[in-house]
Structure 1
Amino acid sequence: MFLTPFEWTIARRYILPGRSEAFIAMVAGISLAAVMLGVAALVIVMSVMNGFRAELMDKIVGLNGHAVIQAYGGRLDDWQGIVRTLQATPGVTRATPLLEQPLLATFNGRVEAIVARGNTQGDLARMAEKKVAGSFKDVQPGAGQVAIGSRLAENLGVQVGDTITIINPAGRSTPFGTVPREIGYRVAAIFEIGVYDYDNSFVVMPIADAQTLLLTGDSIGMIEVTTRDPDTVGQTLAPIKAQLNGRAVVTDWKTLNASLFQALAVERVAMFVVLSIIVLVAVFNILSSLIMLVRAKTRDIAILRTMGATRGSMIKIFVTIGSVIGAVGTGAGLGIGLIFLHFRQVVVHGVERLTGQNLWDPSIRFLTDLPSRVDPAEVAAICGMSLLLSFLATLYPAIKAASTDPVQVLRYE
């Protein structure tokens, strides 16, 4: 739909009305602001929800792999053969053994529940990029050194170089009963994964040290599996699952975190629907402002029709007016949304200082920072929806203006 210079001149004149139409201009301005706020809210909320899912998946799956294989008795004795089979399976990129056990740790009279985790040297090397203090190079088998989460270190009051005592209640049996096993470990490194539960409880050590602490001998607790495509992990491990039937259970990341990711998906859809209502209300404002404009300009429209303006010209003029309001509001909303997302952490801290409330408690939100990931396709869909609704809102007023009978209007002038 191309406008002639005449049609564009009239449309521009009506987009920027004079003082006599100040009320109409105010309503049009409110419509523009409503579209802007609706688009900005949608872009911000959907990007934050995308960020939540992406960050949780990166951090949780990055630490635990895409699937775990665990024996029914809690201990895998023939794990070497299973690892070799996994490494030869198409689609599997990594299969590593590990041990994991809830225990207790003490330091200077403080006691905290922990999760002792025994990793291979390869896994420890990959975790080195998450360190905030110390060095993972010192976490070697038999060295008696460990790495702990940042919040656990804070709760225990531990710094690099301090020695913590890890207590295993399932110790050795004696004539006087079971004696808990207590071993001191020097803290060689402090890491921060970015997921509260992990940073608040994990103590990582070489798998050989974990076997000594937990008295498991050469057996391990589970095998961590990473695949080429996380979304098809079920199909990739289907042959292994059938082979290990009755001996071990294969659990993928979707099952391990099903409730969390399902809740995020439901909340994401609900937020999109609710916030889309804001854009819909803004579109009704565009509709009402155009109806008011048509009513106010009925005499002008009649004169233009007598001068030779066609019905099609009238439709194009008023469609252009409403579409320009929607387009400017959409563009401004997109800009505001992207700026907000860029400075989101500054905004959160500013609101916290103003209200005195902790808006982002990692113990509740799982992540330490407000995440964000802009999906270009999703942003394009939001902008497209806003522009489409704005266009549809112009059709009735435009057709109403085009159907104006100049004879009836000018008869009483």
Structure 2
Amino acid sequence: MFRPLAIFIGTRYTRAKRRNHFISFISMTSMIGLGLGVLAMIVVLSVMNGFQQEMSSRILGMVPHATVAGVQPLGDWRPAAAAAMKNPEVLAAVPYTNLEGMVSIKGAMQPIEISGVDPALEPKVSIIGQHMTRGSLAALTPGDFGVVIGDITARRFRLSVGDKVTLIVPEASTEPGGITPRMQRLTVVGIFKVGAELDGSMGLINVVDAAQINRWSANQVQGVRLALKDLYKAPQVSQAIVAGLGAGYSADDWTHTQGSLFSAMKMEKTMIGLLLLMIVAVAAFNIIATLIMVVNDKGADIAILRTLGATPGQIMTIFMVQGSVIGVIGTIVGGVLGVIAAINVSALVGWLERVTGQQIFSSDLYFVSNLPSKLEGSDVAMICAAGLIMSFLATIYPAWRAAQIQPAYALRE
């Protein structure tokens, strides 16, 4: 099979057993370092993708994707829900009323956000029913003033189903202070655990009870909360629905309440990716040292090739091929091993826990009980492309040095 001279000699140099074994060792070290760098980047970014997906599914499964609220309490929420359901991006629309205040137990207090919900409709827009550890969402019957609280709140105040808590919410008044506290006794009817900070800052009551606490009529609600097909279209979808409803409505979405958390996670992934890319860069640019030593070792060969008619461009291509082969092999091996490791990292951690008898990710300390991993093809392609590009760039200077060698000078040496 015909192969260009430069490719033939470049690949032959890569396979040949050199007289200088130190050069072979450095070449192999560069290849292994590049592979390990690519492997590490794939595994770490896959784990970060897994954490982001896990947090997204838990937090955004609990908080509203978007809300459409009335400026005044809505006496009938169904027309607003029907208008929202006409948008093809909306999966469900249910009533809600939010209350912000303090929960008090035996003199101890903590801030809490109480959501008034319809327990029959809430599973359409929330995953809370799947994460109940005690009690049930159906126990939120109108008029009983039951409350479902998070696991962190329950452990902090040693609460169980049937215990009583006091909800304190502010109320505007004509008194000199301007605000007076309003208190309501609630009974714990359920405890949920989603493994996020919401376990310590969120509670749920029946939407009818929320209306009574606000001193509204029983059928009045604050608005409707929406479940969407694409979370990242929440601002546009909610604004479009409000525009169709006209004056008297306002829109909100998860980017205002949880956007900073996910922006921080995205920034963290970017910065860690850049730091790991430096490892790949160090391994790739070790190829420079390898090729410079090869050029010095092959000075006589270069002179003979030039004497036989090889052009400087061909000499340069020979060493670029040799360095690129090192980069390609290291990148491919690292990429394959990285994909295998990223797919099996959860099983590997589970095996380590069984062998050592130690729980690495305890659900009492962390929001997750295992190491999640989500392999994305775009990440693998980007990492492998970065490794190949840096490996190729690392070959340019040594190859250029080889092309500048003069035959007479090299043979005289």
TM band (smaller chain): 0.7 to 0.9
Aligned to 1:97: 95
TM-score when scaled to structure 1? 0.77
Aligned to 1:47: 46
Aligned to 1:154: 155
TM-aligned CA deviation for residue 314 of structure 1: 5.2
The answer to whether the Cα contact below 8 Å between 2:323 and 2:392 also exists between their aligned partners in 1 is yes
Aligned to 1:375: 376
Structure 1 portions without partners, runs of 5+:
351-357
Residue aligned with 1:216, SS: coil
Counterparts of 2:395 and 2:379, CA distance in 1: 25
Alpha-carbon distance change, 378 to 340 in structure 1, aligned in 2, over 3 angstroms:
closer
Residue aligned with 1:343, SS: helix
Paired residue type of 1:318: F
TM-aligned CA deviation for residue 290 of structure 1: 0.6
Please state if 1:38 is matched with 2:44: no
Give CA deviations for 1:82-141 in whole Å, capped at 9, x if unaligned: 222222344322111112212343556654432222222221474221223444444444
Paired residue type of 1:183: R
Paired residue type of 2:345: F
The answer to whether the Cα contact below 8 Å between 1:145 and 1:187 also exists between their aligned partners in 2 is yes
Please state if 1:206 is matched with 2:206: yes
Counterparts of 1:335 and 1:162, CA distance in 2: 55
Counterparts of 2:56 and 2:246, CA distance in 1: 27
Q: Which moved more, 1:128-137 or 1:365-374?
A: 365-374
TM-aligned CA deviation for residue 223 of structure 1: 1.7
Counterparts of 1:182 and 1:239, CA distance in 2: 37
Residue aligned with 2:62, SS: helix
The answer to whether the Cα contact below 8 Å between 1:91 and 1:236 also exists between their aligned partners in 2 is yes
Give CA deviations for 1:301-354 in whole Å, capped at 9, x if unaligned: 445667898878755653343223212332343356452674379879x9xxxx
Q: Which moved more, 1:386-395 or 1:44-53?
A: 44-53
Residue aligned with 2:20, SS: helix
Alpha-carbon distance change, 253 to 368 in structure 1, aligned in 2, over 3 angstroms:
farther
Alpha-carbon distance change, 232 to 2 in structure 1, aligned in 2, over 3 angstroms:
farther
Which residue, 74, 77, 86 being the options, matches 1:76? 74
Counterparts of 1:182 and 1:65, CA distance in 2: 25
Counterparts of 2:141 and 2:193, CA distance in 1: 20
Structure 2 portions without partners, runs of 5+:
174-178, 353-359
**What percent identity do the matched residue pairs reach?**
30
Aligned to 2:86: 88
Aligned to 2:295: 294
Residue aligned with 2:121, SS: helix
Counterparts of 1:6 and 1:393, CA distance in 2: 18
Paired residue type of 1:28: S
Alpha-carbon distance change, 290 to 86 in structure 1, aligned in 2, over 3 angstroms:
same
The answer to whether the Cα contact below 8 Å between 1:195 and 1:368 also exists between their aligned partners in 2 is no
Give CA deviations for 1:153-181 in whole Å, capped at 9, x if unaligned: 2212223x34232323458x9xxx97843
Counterparts of 2:66 and 2:23, CA distance in 1: 61
The answer to whether the Cα contact below 8 Å between 2:361 and 2:369 also exists between their aligned partners in 1 is no
Alpha-carbon distance change, 369 to 153 in structure 1, aligned in 2, over 3 angstroms:
farther
Q: What does 1:137-148 correspond to in 2, within 5 Å?
A: 137-142=138-143, 145-148=146-149
Q: What does 1:314-393 correspond to in 2, within 5 Å?
A: 317-335=318-336, 337-338=338-339, 339=341, 342-343=344-345, 372-393=373-394
Alpha-carbon distance change, 396 to 169 in structure 1, aligned in 2, over 3 angstroms:
closer
Residue aligned with 1:391, SS: helix
Paired residue type of 2:327: G
Counterparts of 1:150 and 1:293, CA distance in 2: 64
Q: Which moved more, 1:35-44 or 1:9-18?
A: 9-18
Alpha-carbon distance change, 280 to 409 in structure 1, aligned in 2, over 3 angstroms:
same
Give CA deviations for 1:179-222 in whole Å, capped at 9, x if unaligned: 8433241433x3222321x1112222332233344443332233
The answer to whether the Cα contact below 8 Å between 1:90 and 1:236 also exists between their aligned partners in 2 is no
Residue aligned with 2:82, SS: helix
Aligned residues: 397
TM-score when scaled to structure 2? 0.77
Q: Which moved more, 1:386-395 or 1:283-292?
A: 386-395
Aligned to 2:277: 276
Counterparts of 2:182 and 2:132, CA distance in 1: 31
Aligned to 1:249: 250
Residue aligned with 2:94, SS: strand
The answer to whether the Cα contact below 8 Å between 1:68 and 1:250 also exists between their aligned partners in 2 is yes
Counterparts of 2:166 and 2:320, CA distance in 1: 73
TM-aligned CA deviation for residue 224 of structure 1: 0.7
Aligned to 2:115: 117
Residue aligned with 1:158, SS: coil
